Structures are given as structure tokens and as C-alpha cells.
Amino acid sequence: MKLIKTYIYNNGKYNATYGLYKCKCGKEFGTLVSRVKSGGALSCGCLRLKRVIEAKSTHKLSKNKDLKSTYACWIAMKQRCSNKNNQRYQLYGGRGISVCKEWLSFETFLNDMGKRPSKDLSLNRINNDLGYFKDNCRWDSRQAQESNKKPAKGKSSQYKGVMYSKQKNKFHAKIQVNGKQIHLLFSDKEKECAAAYNKAALKYFGKDAYINEISLSL
């Protein structure tokens, strides 16, 4: 945006400085210089219009049945990276993993990655230390593993990775990694064991691991 000229306008009470600007889109428009300086005016209005159109189109796309699971992946990705209350935030946003600027628009994300090919495939990063952008992402099937399944019903605890040990009279958290059982914790509190399992599952299996739903305060 370029300032072409300024002029003083007196409304009877005080002087205000107006500017005639040339917007990036080519249109000329006038506004208070102070609005531009404070960041209140970034364009002739075309930018705002663009954002409204984008939001409308995202809304429309998100309602498309065919795109529902792709849209859910996109939302989950943003959540992991930016919502501090997200259960997986520490592994993502918390360690500097972010979503590239372009992908804050669902349309661009969809253009770059295409539709999620099937529910067995999830959005994964090729280099685990880099963020979410086109060249570092692919749909793959890392999540079709035992580690990502829900707990079986009829066990001695409602939580995955937790069993009741009659011998010790306590709950026992453990995790199976590459065929080996790893002991995590004995506790009277079932939730504490569920939390211990969650921590280990994220460590060993990554973001697609099944995580017990527990409130953060135990």
C-alpha cells in the first residue's frame, strides 16, 4: 500500500490528516493516516473481502461429506500445534512444531495434500522435527497398529494399558513395545495409571497412539 498524498481535513472541531493511498490491488482509496499507522487499515477493503470469501468457502467445504475426514485431520493438526489444552500439544506446538501459514486455509491444505485417501491413513510428517508443510507431509498408514486401537472390553480397567493386579491390590500400568512388556506404574488410582500409559504411548507410538480420555487434573 502506497501513500500518494495527504491532506488536512477540518471537521469544525479539529484537524485530521487523511491520506490518499494506492492499494496493492491497484485501487486508490482515502482513509485517516492514523488508521493506517495503527494497522487498522491494511487494504482498500479487498483483503477483508478475500478473508470473508475464504471463510465461507471453508465452511462450505467442511460440510461436504466426501471431505469430512480430511477436514477433521486439518482441524486436529491445527489443534495439536496451537491449543495448549490439547492432549498432544506438548509433542507438537509445545516443541515448536507448527502449521505453515498457507495451511491455515483449508482450501490450500486440500489443494496440496488432496483428499484423505482412506480412514486407515493419517497425516504424517516425514521429518518428525519439522512442521506441517507440503513437502514434509504425506498420508500414510502408521496408525493401523495395535497401539492405536481402543481398549478391549471386559478387562479389569476401563483404560487401555491398565490392569487391576489382585496380587498387589493396585492398578498396574504397562505398555507393550515391540513385543516387550514395559512396567510403568503401580497405583491405587486408576486414572494415574491411565495417565502413565498415555505418556508412554505418546513417547513410543507417536501422535496416532490411542490415548485414554482422562481429565488433566487427577
Of 48 and 203, the one with the shorter C-beta distance to Zn ion is 48
Residue in 20, 25, 76, 144 binding Zn ion, rule: CB under 5 A: 25
Q: Which stretch binds Zn ion (CB under 5 A): 17-25, 58-66, 189-197, 202-210?
A: 17-25
165: closest CA among 147, 188, 191? 188
Measured from the CB of residue 8, what is the shortest distance to Zn ion in angstroms? Answer: 25
- The answer to whether the beta carbons of residues 176 and 182 sit under 8 Å apart is yes
Q: Which residues pair with 138 in a beta bridge?
A: 124
Measured from the CB of residue 141, what is the shortest distance to Zn ion in angstroms? Answer: 45
Residue in 1, 20, 22, 23 binding Zn ion, rule: CB under 5 A: 23
Of 22 and 170, the one with the shorter C-beta distance to Zn ion is 22
Q: Where are the alpha helices (DSSP H) in the chain?
A: 33-37, 46-62, 68-82, 106-113, 190-205
Measured from the CB of residue 58, what is the shortest distance to Zn ion in angstroms? Answer: 22
Residue type, 171: F
Q: Which stretch binds Zn ion (CB under 5 A): 26-34, 143-151, 185-193, 196-204?
A: 26-34
Q: Which stretch binds Zn ion (CB under 5 A): 18-26, 55-63, 93-101, 105-113?
A: 18-26
Q: Say which residues have a Cβ less than 8 Å from residue 150's Cβ, sequence separation at least 6.
A: 160, 210
Q: What are phi and psi of 139, to 5 degrees?
A: -90, 120
Residue in 19, 21, 41, 44 binding Zn ion, rule: CB under 5 A: 44
Q: CA 180, CA 39: separation in Å to the nearest integer?
A: 58
Q: CA 54, CA 42: separation in Å to the nearest integer?
A: 17
Give the contact letters, 45-74, x = binds to Zn ion (CB under 5 A), - = no: -x----------------------------
**Which residues of the chain form contacts with Zn ion (CB under 5 A)?**
23, 25, 27, 43-44, 46
